[in-house]
Amino acid sequence: MSTSDVTAQIGDLPPIGRPANGALLHAGITSLAEVAMLGRRELLAMHGIGPKSLRILEAAATERGLTFTP
């Protein structure tokens, strides 16, 4: 799957870019709650998720009262 085939927005996730969306979709993740259950290390280990995407996801999680798994 190329990044041009990936939707720009998934579920309730904030806009983080197609490569990051593709990484999450490949892992079967479609919600912010599922992202928060993973934790920073697991997210950063995914090809397509970088520090910027992680910051955006963390900020959105915090706004919704979710915290990342340590």
The domains of the chain are located at 18-63
pLDDT at 10: 85
Q: Which residue in 62, 17, 8, 5 sits closest to 35, CA to CA? A: 62
Q: What digits encode the pLDDT tens for the residues 23-56?
A: 999 999 999 999 999 989 999 999 999 999 999 9
Angle at alpha carbon of residue 48, lines to 27 and 50, rounded to 5°: 115
pLDDT at 66: 94
Predicted TM-score (pTM) of the model is: 0.85
Residue 64, pLDDT above cutoff 80:
yes
